[in-house]
Amino acid sequence: MFSSAAILGTGSFGTALASLIGSRISDVVMIGRDPVTVDSINLAHRNPRYISDIDLPESVRAEIGMNHASLHPLILFCVPTSVTRQAATDLAEAGVPEETVLVSCAKGIERGTGDRMSVILKEVFPNNPVAVLSGPNHAEEIARDLATCAVIGCTNESIACQLQEVFTAPHFRSYTSDDLPGIELGGAIKNVYAIAAGIASGLNLGDNAISALVTRALAEMTRLGVRLGGRVETFAGLSGVGDLIATCFSAHSRNHRVGLALGQGKSLEEAVNALGMVAEGVPNTLSIYEAARDAGVRTPIIDAVHAILYEDMPAAWALSQLLNRDPRPENE
Ligand SMILES: NC(=O)C1=CN([C@@H]2O[C@H](COP(=O)(O)OP(=O)(O)OC[C@H]3O[C@@H](n4cnc5c(N)ncnc54)[C@H](O)[C@@H]3O)[C@@H](O)[C@H]2O)C=CC1
Ligand SMILES: O=C(CO)COP(=O)(O)O
């Protein structure tokens, strides 16, 4: 078991994971940017901005600055994917031993490179073990000890088992896998479909329509994810269909909430501003749309979300275009 851990990010997921692993590890430091948040975590054991009604374990404290993270044997990345490369670079400058285990908990791919987060971490820390954590894991529920499962992706079996021990609690069961591409791509791509499902709810399309959308989204996610390097069975697992269901149907999902606002006629700017948190599907609609084009994969649902978010296409029109494509077999 790890003697201590650092969590980069004092947002929703960082807070939920601090609550989870703080019962297993006696020294957990959250690295933040906001002095008010850091002070409150240290003095009141509460995060005033995110999931503010839960008490964090006594083992959890907070600091500002990567130098406070660099010497812990386990470091979790819980910052948005758009800043993961920068956070990793800042951390590397603080000096990290080669045996430190780095875990990406963020869900998205980098725009421009199409890189998954574990690829970025490997680029910045070529000699360190790198792992990923994903699954149907809404922060708000984990922090309240509501049951769920997750998958830990790591190609080193012994480290995967050590991480499994860290991410185990009476209400939290984790599995291991060595398919990092499949795990990360499922977690990234489902954010776009959660926006689509939110739009469908906002348009009051009904349960049949949303179920059909999510089912076709799974087929599309699998087609794209396999082309980008994931294994087909991973998309049928916790980090694939499991997380797709969680985000497409949950009121907790920030991506779903952005979609709902769009379906109800708000602009993207209004929807994002009202949310006040990171909805990875918004930037990732761009990065995933571009990755799909580069790979030559047919992705009509992602294309429709891209058109609504970035080409000013009215949501109802995008829907009618989706439904009126040429007929084809269900499985091809
Ligand atoms: N909230 C959730 O239920 C879950 C979130 N995730 C993933 O975790 C990642 C983080 O999401 P949340 O914690 O929900 O986001 P959040 O919006 O709640 O918090 C983001 C955190 O990152 C920090 N941050 C933002 N920009 C930064 C920068 N330039 N440098 C350093 N820190 C910065 C913020 O100060 C904040 O502490 C995302 O990729 C998300 O997809 C994964 C599973 C569940
Ligand atoms: O990934 C998540 C749950 O597994 C969180 O989804 P949102 O970012 O849409 O809230």
What are the pLDDT digits (tens) for 283-311? 999 999 999 999 999 999 999 999 999 99
187-323 — its CATH code? 1.10.1040.10
**Hey, which residues does 103 pair with through a beta bridge?**
76, 131
Give the separation between CA 107 and CA 50, rounded to whole angstroms: 18
Confidence of residue 323 (pLDDT cuts 50, 70, 90): confident
Give the separation between CA 278 and CA 281, rounded to whole angstroms: 9
Q: What is the arithmetic mean of pLDDT over 246-262?
A: 97
Contact 313, 141 (CB under 8 A): no
**Is the C-beta atom of 81 inside 6 A of ligand 1?**
yes
Confidence of residue 1 (pLDDT cuts 50, 70, 90): confident
pLDDT at 320: 85
For residue 139, pLDDT over 90 is answered with: yes
Question: What is the value of ipTM here, to two decimals?
Answer: 0.97
Q: What is the arithmetic mean of pLDDT over 129-152?
A: 98
Longest dimension (CA), the chain: 61
DSSP assignments along 190-249, one per residue: HHHHHHHHHHHHHTT--HHHHHHHHHHHHHHHHHHHHHTT--GGGGGSIIIIIHHHHHHH
Which of these ranges, 5-9, 152-156, 177-181, 319-323, has the smallest mean pLDDT?
A: 319-323
CA 278 to ligand 1: nearest atom? 17
Contact 1, 16 (CB under 8 A): no
Q: Where are the beta strands (DSSP E) in the chain?
A: 5-8, 28-32, 60-64, 74-77, 101-104, 130-134, 148-153, 172-177
Q: Which of 190, 256, 257, 306 is catalytic?
A: 190
Share of the chain above pLDDT 70, in %: 100
The mean predicted confidence, pLDDT, of the chain is 97
Q: Tell me which residue has its CA closest to atom 8 in ligand 2.
A: 254
**Hey, which residues does 83 pair with through a beta bridge?**
none
5-178 — its CATH code? 3.40.50.720
Closest ligand to Cα 258: 2
Q: Is 2 annotated as a binding residue?
A: no
pLDDT at 319: 86
Confidence of residue 270 (pLDDT cuts 50, 70, 90): very high
Give the tens place of pLDDT for each residue, 186-203: 999 999 999 999 999 999
Residue 256 CA to ligand 2 center (angstroms) comes to 9
CA 108 to ligand 1: nearest atom? 39
Mutate to test the pocket of ligand 1, among 79, 256, 272 (most ligand atoms within 8 A of CB): 79
Give the tens place of pLDDT for each residue, 52-106: 999 999 999 999 999 999 999 999 999 999 999 999 999 999 999 999 999 999 9
Distance of CA 129 to the CA centre of its chain: 20
Residue 50 CA to ligand 1 center (angstroms) comes to 10
**Is the C-beta atom of 151 inside 6 A of ligand 2?**
no
**Exposed, middle or buried by CB within 10 Å (0-12, 13-18, 19+), for 252?**
middle
pLDDT at 192: 98
Share of the chain above pLDDT 90, in %: 96
pLDDT at 247: 98
Residue type, 280: E
Residue 149 CA to ligand 2 center (angstroms) comes to 14
Instruction: Let me know if 122 is a catalytic residue.
Output: no
Cβ–Cβ contacts within 10 Å for residue 291, how many? 25
**Is the C-beta atom of 137 inside 6 A of ligand 1?**
yes
Q: What is the arithmetic mean of pLDDT over 311-315?
A: 95
Token pair 């079996």 is at which residue?
157
Which of these ranges, 105-114, 262-271, 321-330, has the smallest mean pLDDT?
A: 321-330
Cβ–Cβ contacts within 10 Å for residue 93, how many? 11
DSSP label at residue 328: -
Residue 12 CA to ligand 1 center (angstroms) comes to 6
Give the separation between CA 179 and CA 257, rounded to whole angstroms: 30
**Is the C-beta atom of 134 inside 6 A of ligand 2?**
no
Domain ranges within the chain, ordered by starting residue? 5-178, 187-323
Contact 14, 44 (CB under 8 A): no
Residue type, 107: K
pLDDT at 77: 98
Q: How is the chain split among helix, strand and coil, in percent rounded to 5?
A: 50, 15, 35
Residue 326 CA to ligand 2 center (angstroms) comes to 33
Closest ligand to Cα 195: 2
Contact 152, 259 (CB under 8 A): no
| pTM as predicted | 0.97
Give the tens place of pLDDT for each residue, 219-246: 999 999 999 999 999 999 999 999 999 9
